[in-house]
Amino acid sequence: MSSTPQELVSRLVLFNIFVCAMDSGTGCTLSKFVDDTKMCGAVDTLEGMDAIQRDLDRWAHVNLMKFNKAKCRVLHLGQGNPGYKHRLGNEGIESSPEEEDLGVLVCKKLNMTQQCTLIAQKANCIPGCIKSSMASRAREGFLPLSSALVRPNLES
């Protein structure tokens, strides 16, 4: 298939209009990524829970979305969160204590403990990998390599 630059631009503009219009009419916040969509909102009352459920049902119906129910989860954030159950159609969505979002582990307590532990474990494995792959254990070869590979993990 070939097209002129003008056709390509118009296709991209129409696609952006379509994607941006997908969240019109929802009271919740929608975050759209390449292969992922996140819906979030405050649920401190039954009315808030009903609003999210209504938006979820409406959004799927209007946009003809078929959800992969195995990949759908609810993350209840904050102290005193009632942990209301949500559903896709007639099936409930399982609740999760933590989710990874754009490489960051978000837990329901909103602390960084698990994220820091995972990064430290990964960084602790790197020197062992370097030692096992190097023929010489000379300090002048190990330190620059270790610094170049371990440091970025810890600084992120």
pLDDT in tens, 37-94: 777 777 777 887 888 888 888 777 776 767 777 888 888 887 777 788 888 878 888 8
Question: For residue 155, what pLDDT is reported?
Answer: 79
CB 93 within 8 A of CB 87: yes
CB 134 within 8 A of CB 142: yes
- CA dist 122 and 110 (Å) reads 21
Number of H helices, E strands in the chain: 4, 8
Q: What share of the chain is helix, strand, coil (3-state, %, to 5)?
A: 50, 15, 35
- Annotated domain spans of the chain: 1-97, 112-156
| 116: Cα separation from own chain's centroid | 18
Question: For residue 145, what pLDDT is reported?
Answer: 82
Closest CA to 67 of 33, 91, 99, 98: 91
- Please compute Rg for the chain using Cα positions: 23
CB 60 within 8 A of CB 72: no
- CA dist 145 and 126 (Å) reads 10
Question: For residue 13, what pLDDT is reported?
Answer: 61
In the chain, beta strands by DSSP E: 29-32, 37-40, 73-74, 87-88, 91-92, 94-95, 98-101, 104-107
Lowest average pLDDT, out of 13-17, 31-35, 120-124, 144-148, goes to 13-17
